[in-house]
Amino acid sequence: MKYFLLFLTIVLAAFLQAVVVNFNFLLILVLFCAVALLPAIALAVAFISGVVLDLILGGTLGLSSLGFVLPIFLLLLYRQRFSFQNHFIVGIFAAIAYLAFALLTHRVLNLFEGTVLVILVVLFRVIWPSVFRPTQEQRIVR
């Protein structure tokens, strides 16, 4: 049920992004999953989000998946090294993910969109700090 709801959210976010407002909602969702879920699931969410987005936008299938999976992999690798309790680190990772996604998918870099995205991710961190705390599994690994 949890994963069905997550898939529904992905479809809704992709539709919203492709049809209603041209803003990368999916990247926020994927970043959120990368800090809140297990790595394998976070990567699966990134991959599926890309496929759904490409299907709705009509782009080359797999390109957006690549654009999501690569920055999420980097984020997961460094999730152990950096503390996501720090707003600045969260903002930097959001900006890197936005840049990486735009470059990998040949999308036009939009400074306004990028800034809003970073602010939203940091706001999430402020409003909902528990998500950014290390999970049980991460603590065990540490």
Partner 1 sequence: MKPDWSKKIIPSFLLFLLLSFALILLDEGGALSGLKGAFENLIVPAKTRIYRFKQSQVEPSQMVKIIEEKERKIASLEGQVSTLKTENAAMKRLLGTPLPSSWRFLPAQVIGEANTQTLQIDKGKGDGVREGMAVVFENALVGKASKVGEHFSEILLPSAPSSRILALTRSSGSSDSAEETKAKGILIGQGDRMNFERVTLKENLQAGDFLFTSGDEFLPPNLFLGKIAKVYKKEGDIFQKAEVEPAVQSGTLETVFVLTYSL
Per-residue binding string, partner 1, 95-124, x by CB under 8 A, is -------------x-x--------------
What is the spatial distance between Cα 41 and Cα 47, in angstroms, rounded to a whole number? 10
Measuring CA to CA, which residue among 39, 109, 113, 112 is closest to residue 76? 39
Q: How many residues bind partner 1 (CB under 8 A)?
A: 34
CB of 118 to partner 1, least distance (A): 19
Instruction: State the minimum distance, in angstroms, from the CB of residue 127 to partner 1.
Output: 27
Binder among 6, 39, 91, 122 for partner 1 (CB under 8 A)? 39
Give Cβ neighbours of residue 46 (< 8 Å, ≥ 6 apart): 30, 33, 34, 65, 68, 69, 72
Give the range of 5-13, 44-52, 90-98, 123-131 binding partner 1 by CB under 8 A.
44-52
Residues 6+ apart with CB under 8 A from 101: 24, 27, 64, 67, 68, 71, 107
Work out how close the CB of 54 gets to partner 1 at its nearest, in angstroms, rounded to a whole number. Answer: 8
Helix, strand and coil percent figures for the chain, each rounded to 5: 80, 0, 20
Binding to partner 1 (CB under 8 A): which residues in 15-34?
Answer: 18-20, 22
For residues 69 and 43, the answer to whether their CB atoms sit within 8 Å is yes
Binding residues for partner 1, per CB under 8 A? 18-20, 22, 39-40, 43-44, 46-47, 50-51, 55-63, 65-66, 69-70, 73, 76-77, 80-81, 108, 110, 141-142
